[in-house]
Structure 1
Amino acid sequence: MCKDKLSAHLFFIFGLRTLLGCHRLYKLSIKGRIGKLPEFFHFSSSIAKIAFKASLLEEDPMATLENLPKLSSLTLFDSTFVGEEMACSSKGFPRLLYLKVWGLSNLKRWRIDAGAMPKLCRLVIAHCEQLEMLPDGLKFITTLQKLNVRWMSDDFKDRLRDEGDDFYKVRHVPDIKLD
């Protein structure tokens, strides 16, 4: 990396950490490559809404973001994460109400452990063409009221219909929309 690019990258990393540490930061939207998320303790404890677009994260962002105590809304959009596997651990995302996973074209597997996202009400999954199936752990999220699956393969959507292989994971969800 040339000196100018390295300087700009270091400035961005330290600038991002400074911004994330602002105590009154409530909402954050980041567009563009950031490479790697800072550790969760660099984030303001008051942050409630985060949206990423085209961040090209190679490491699973859930491991960091699930530790934010007041996070209620999370959008991962358009190549935010370029890896193949995401995991949400037990007790992760304690206040998350809304999650949008859109355009993660390399995502193949997504694990949600029992106890994760205990307040999730709305989930949108779209344009994740490689995603093989819904996470099994969705069956434990009894608060889920709305599931919107858009622009996914017919095979993926068929797994969610009555009698489909994944229907048992979401049978408790009153509003399921398959577009």
Structure 2
Amino acid sequence: MGMLDKLPNLTTLLLISEVFEENTKILVFSKEGFPSLQFLSVFCVDEITEWSVEEGVMPSLWRLRIWFCSGLTTLPDGLTYLTNLKELTIFRMPRELHSRIQEDGEDFCRIQHVPSVVIGEPYDPPMQ
């Protein structure tokens, strides 16, 4: 992420499975990174279990989509810093995350400022 977040004209970013090194568990969006990013999609990034969004990052972001990230059970505190975020889509994520983002959930305060929030069905891992 260190090189991508410095690209001044990057407006759209799709992070998809196998984009990170094998043992990467934490996704960090650092302060002042991604100055022009408007659209971010995180799709099938199962290895990530923690996500950090620092204040001052992605000031232009207005659409965020998070899909099929089975290792992510909570949303980053820093989503509250994304004041221009207008659309958030969460789809096929772990049931634990879904319960945390409901109106009475622990993480609801992180997304309540977003005008349009679409939450799809949770992901239930196959029975073994």
What TM-score results when the alignment is normalised by the length of structure 2?
0.88
Q: Is the 8 A contact 1:63 1:87 kept in 2?
A: no
Structure 1 position 154, deviation (Å): 1.6
Q: Which runs of 4+ in 1 moved over 6 A?
A: none
Query: Would you say 1:148 and 2:89 are equivalent positions?
Result: yes
Structure 1 residue runs of 5 or longer lacking an equivalent are: 1-61
Pairing partner for 2:17 from 72, 78, 85: 78
Aligned length: 118
1:120 aligns with 2:61: yes
The question of 1:173 aligning with 2:114 is answered yes
Residue number in structure 2 paired with 1:94? 35
The separation in 2 between residues aligned to 1:65 and 1:157, in whole angstroms, is 29
Comparing 112-121 and 77-86, the one that deviates more: 77-86
Is residue 36–residue 58 contact of structure 2 (8 Å, CA) maintained in 1? yes
- Alignment partners' CA distance in 1, 2:112 and 2:3: 30
Q: CA deviation at 1:77?
A: 1.4
**Contact between 2:73 and 2:94, CA under 8 Å: does it hold in 1?**
no
Counterpart of 1:76, as a letter, is L
Structure number, greater radius of gyration: 1
1:66 is paired with a residue whose SS is helix
Structure with the greater relative contact order (CA < 8 A, sep ≥ 6): 1 or 2?
2
Q: What's the Cα RMSD here?
A: 0.9
Identity of aligned residues (%): 35
Residue 163 of structure 1 deviates from its aligned partner by: 1.6
Instruction: Return the letter of the residue paired with 1:136.
Output: D
Task: Read off the aligned partner of 2:56 and give its amino acid letter.
Answer: G
Match for 1:95: what amino acid? S
3-state SS in 1 of match to 2:28 = strand
Aligned partner of 1:18 in structure 2 is: none
